[in-house]
Structures are given as C-alpha cells and as structure tokens.
C-alpha cells in the first residue's frame, strides 16, 4: 500500500520535474528528490490520519447502536411521530421528555455520522492522487450504506416500527460498522518509516478464512437477535406462548456463533508469529464472548425486565462482531501483502 502511494506520488511529481532534472546540475536532482520524498511522506500522513478518523467514526457508530438499543428498550422509537423533523421542529423543546430526547438525540448523532462519512468521501475524491488506489471507491460504498441506513431509519418511523424494517435497520447499521472498520484497517499505511520492521509475520491463510466464518456466524446471530427484539418474541413466548420458534432460533444460533469465535481465539493464540496488536484483539474477543454469554443468559432468565442488561447485550454483541472483523481484515491484509508489522 505504501509503495502504491509512493509510486503515485513519484510519478506525478516526476512528470512535472522532468525538464529541470534533465538539464540542471546534480544539486537540482537532489533537491527534486528531497521534494518528492517530502510529498510522499505528506501523502502517507494524510492517509494515516484519514484511516484513523474513519476508525474513530466506526467507534461512534458503535455508540450510536447502543443509543438505538436504549431508544428501543425505552419504547421511544415513535416518540417523534414524524421524520426527519420531530414534531415538525429541529428541536422540539415544548414536547421534550426522556423518550423524545432519546429519539431526537439518536437522529442527531446519526445525521452527524452520515455527514461525516460524506465528508470523508469528498476529501478522498479531492485528495485521490495522494491516496491509495481504491480509497475513494471504498468511501463511496460507505456513503451508499449509510444512505440506505438513513432511509431505513425514516421507514422505521413512517411504517410504525414494522419488525422487518427495524431488523433491516439494525443489520445495515452493523454492516456499516463493519465497512468502516474494514476500510480503516485495509488502507492504514502500516509499513511507514515510523513503524519498526524488525519482526516479520508470515501468517497462514486459514486465519482470515476462519475469521470470516466467525463474522458470518456472529452477524447472522445478531440479525436473529434483531428479529427477536423487534417482534418482542421473548415476551410473547413467555406470556402468551407465541413466537417461541423465533426465540428458540436465536437461542440455537448461540452455538455456531460461540464455537466459531472460540475457534478463532484458539487457533490465533496457537499461532506463534501473531502480531502483538492482534493478540490483544483476540484477548478482547474472548472477553467480549464471555460477557455476551453471561448477558444473554441474564436477559433470558430475567425476561428482559432489566433494561440496562438488554442494552449491554446488544452493545457487547456489536463489540464482539467488531473485534472479529478487525482480526479478519488485518490477517487477510497481512496474508495478502506479507507486510511487516510490530
């Protein structure tokens, strides 16, 4: 990746300096070379800062999903009866209460994230000559996903929380979260001059493949959990003996999601040349998995009566998914490019 940026920068600047380099003295050539090197360093810094910003945006999306879970648990999804405004206002001060605030603030954060994503896309187009090939296209895809998420958010209100739309809204939000994580990891310039190359990591290809299987299992389980939540299947099964099949499907889905995550953790920790940062990610995956299982058991036993446990269950589930996505994207990139990394 760094070499791609370097070659792009060298080609661009070199073409502009062909004439002077051909006729001037060796001193001029040295100056042009220094200028080219400085331009390449600037390009690397730009890409590093943008990918760091996109990673931060992914963390913001994680917080937004927790806020959305709180909005649902507090029955605040229709507290603003219209969309995109709330009671026909940008700030409904007269109607403001806890439920209205949750829905209004959720929309505010979602709009901010959407506009920030668009800003990254515009910047990537403007600075495309200084960025790796494919960066603007990746951000363009992220804009399409967040646009779809916004449309689904509006439909959840106008269609009165129809369960399939609510589930699609959750699924798209998780997919947007995964997209931002993947972009930030795929385009971060790991092998810059500021990063040591003392350790070489030649990772086996089965690591990212195992991670991908786990991502699919956990994402599918999250979608099933969205169906259970949007249809209030747990309440209906316990109280009225209805939708028990939906609830039991989610319970059974715990098995492949858990086993796939355990597989990633076990195999990764047995891989000797695993980079330190990925080892920490694997530890985090294990912690999230244990917490998620405990929270799932608690919410089931308490029949979703403790709101904070329900919110944490979805939040930790998203963190678990994010940690496996991080591991998968990083191991795929390191396997594909054989980059050096500490």
Q: Give SS3 for 302.
A: coil
Report whether 130 contacts 9 (CB < 8 A): yes
What confidence tens digit (pLDDT) does each residue in 113-169 have?
A: 999 999 999 999 999 999 999 999 999 999 999 999 999 999 999 999 999 999 999
Q: Look up the pTM and report it.
A: 0.87
What confidence tens digit (pLDDT) does each residue in 187-207 have?
A: 998 653 333 333 456 788 899
Q: Where are the domains of the chain?
A: 1-194, 196-342
Q: Which two tokens stand for residue 302?
A: 């308490």
Residue 199 CB neighbour total at 10 angstroms? 11
Q: Which two tokens stand for residue 56?
A: 């931060």
What is the rounded CA–CA span in Å between residue 190 and residue 200? 13
CA distances from 182 to 38, 177, 178, 215, 287 (A): 28, 9, 6, 12, 21
pLDDT digit string (tens) for the chain, length 342 residues: 444 444 444 443 333 333 333 333 333 434 466 667 777 788 899 999 999 999 999 999 999 999 999 998 898 999 999 999 999 999 999 999 999 999 999 999 999 999 999 999 999 999 999 999 999 999 999 999 999 999 999 999 999 999 999 999 999 999 999 999 999 999 998 653 333 333 456 788 899 999 999 999 999 999 999 999 888 888 888 888 899 999 999 999 999 999 999 999 999 999 888 899 999 999 999 999 999 999 999 999 888 788 899 999 999 999 999 999 999 999 999 887 654 333
């Amino acid at each position: 990746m760094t070499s791609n940026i370097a070659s792009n920068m060298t080609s661009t600047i070199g073409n502009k300096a062909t004439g002077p380099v051909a006729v001037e003295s060796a001193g001029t050539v040295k100056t042009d070379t220094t200028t080219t090197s400085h331009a390449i360093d600037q390009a690397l810094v730009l890409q590093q800062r943008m990918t760091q910003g996109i990673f931060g945006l992914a963390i913001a999306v994680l917080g937004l999903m927790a806020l959305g879970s709180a909005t649902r648990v507090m029955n605040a999804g229709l507290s603003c009866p219209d969309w995109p405004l709330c009671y026909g206002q940008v700030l409904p001060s007269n109607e403001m209460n806890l439920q209205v605030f949750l829905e209004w603030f959720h929309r505010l954060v979602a709009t901010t994230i959407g506009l920030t994503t668009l800003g990254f896309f515009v910047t990537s187009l403007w600075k495309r000559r200084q960025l790796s090939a494919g960066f603007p296209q990746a951000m363009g895809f992220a804009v399409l996903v967040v646009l779809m998420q916004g449309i689904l958010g509006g439909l959840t209100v106008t269609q009165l929380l129809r369960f399939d739309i609510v589930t699609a809204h959750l699924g798209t939000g998780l997919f947007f979260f995964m997209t931002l994580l993947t972009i930030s990891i795929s385009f971060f310039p790991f092998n810059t001059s500021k990063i040591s190359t003392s350790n070489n990591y030649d990772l086996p290809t089965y690591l990212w493949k195992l991670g991908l299987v786990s991502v699919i299992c956990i994402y599918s389980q999250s979608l099933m959990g969205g169906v259970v939540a949007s249809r209030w299947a747990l309440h209906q099964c316990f109280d009225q003996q209805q939708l028990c099949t939906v609830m039991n499907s989610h319970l059974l889905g715990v098995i492949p999601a858990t086993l796939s995550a355990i597989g990633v953790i076990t195999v990764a920790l047995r891989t000797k040349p695993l980079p330190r940062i990925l080892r920490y990610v694997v530890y985090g995956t294990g912690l999230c998995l244990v917490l998620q299982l405990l929270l799932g058991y608690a919410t089931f036993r308490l029949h979703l009566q403790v709101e904070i446990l329900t919110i944490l269950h979805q939040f930790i589930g998203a963190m678990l998914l994010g940690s496996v996505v991080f591991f998968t994207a990083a191991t795929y990139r390191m396997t594909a490019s054989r980059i050096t990394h500490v």
